Amino acid sequence: MTLNLSPLPVGIYYLTIKSTETTTRHKIIKVTK
């Protein structure tokens, strides 16, 4: 059970990091411009 449930939160966590990364980049670009 633990092994089966493990990949899902990891994927969500990864997606959250990815979206935050993109938002941060957009903010940095706006600040630079």
Domain of 22, in residue numbers: 2-32
Q: 9: pLDDT confidence band, cut at 50, 70 and 90? A: confident
> In this structure, what are the phi and psi dihedrals at residue 17, rounded to the nearest 5 degrees?
-60, -45
Q: Which of 25, 24, 19 is nearest to 11 (CA)?
A: 19
Residue 28's alpha-carbon distances to 16, 21, 23, in angstroms, are 18, 11, 9
Query: What's the one-letter identity of residue 12?
Result: I
User: In the prediction, which pLDDT does 10 show?
Assistant: 82
User: In the prediction, which pLDDT does 31 show?
Assistant: 78
For the chain, the straight-line distance linking the first and the last C-alpha, in angstroms and rounded, comes to: 49
Question: Domain count of the chain?
Answer: 1
